[in-house]
Amino acid sequence: MAAKKPATTKKTEADLAAVAAATAAAEPTTSNTSEAKSRFNAALEEAKAGAVALGDEARARAGNVRDEARARGEDWAGDAKEKAGELAVEGKHKASEALTNLSRMIDENAASLDERFGPKYGDYARSASRSLQENARKLEEKSYEELAEDSREAIRKSPATAVGLAALVGFFFARLFR
């Protein structure tokens, strides 16, 4: 009689074959690994290229926005300069009128100062009136650029007086707009 293999042996061979097949399926071959690495590297390079392209596009858009903002700013600065010039001319004219009116008022009251305090004080008032009238005329004749340069020169000569006057004007404006 022929010797029979035990049943456990057949089962073991089948189990070994199944384990070998599973192991072969679980362990990728060298070609599968290199293909996966190749695909991953290609995807990575594509992502890098996309990021560079997005960065370049963002820089280009930012440059366009910066140029547009600069152009608008220059337009607004030009408009503001023009408006400031108009306001300066108008303010100069109003200041000249105010000095002329003050001069006229002082001149009108000089006679009453003569009567109340004597001719010496009336003469002071008339002198002040003439000085105010002359300053109003000079103010009206000068351009606002010349006035600005005169102001700068006065500030350079005596900065303490300029600071004091600025504080006084600020105080009056604060009181006026309270």
Q: H or E element: which one contains 157?
A: helix 144-157
Rg (CA), the chain: 48
Q: What is the pLDDT of residue 63?
A: 92
- Please give the angle made by the CA atoms of 61, 65 and 67, to the nearest 5 degrees: 115
**What is the pLDDT of the chain when averaged over all its residues?**
82
pLDDT in tens, 17-33: 666 555 555 555 567 88
Confidence grade of residue 14 (pLDDT, cut at 50, 70, 90): low
Q: Is the dihedral of CA 73, 79, 82, 86 positive or negative?
A: negative
Cβ-Cβ contacts under 8 Å for 100 (sequence gap 6 or more)? 132, 133, 136
Give the C-alpha separation, 63 to 121, whole Å: 70
What are the residue boundaries of the structural domains of the chain, listed by start? Answer: 153-178
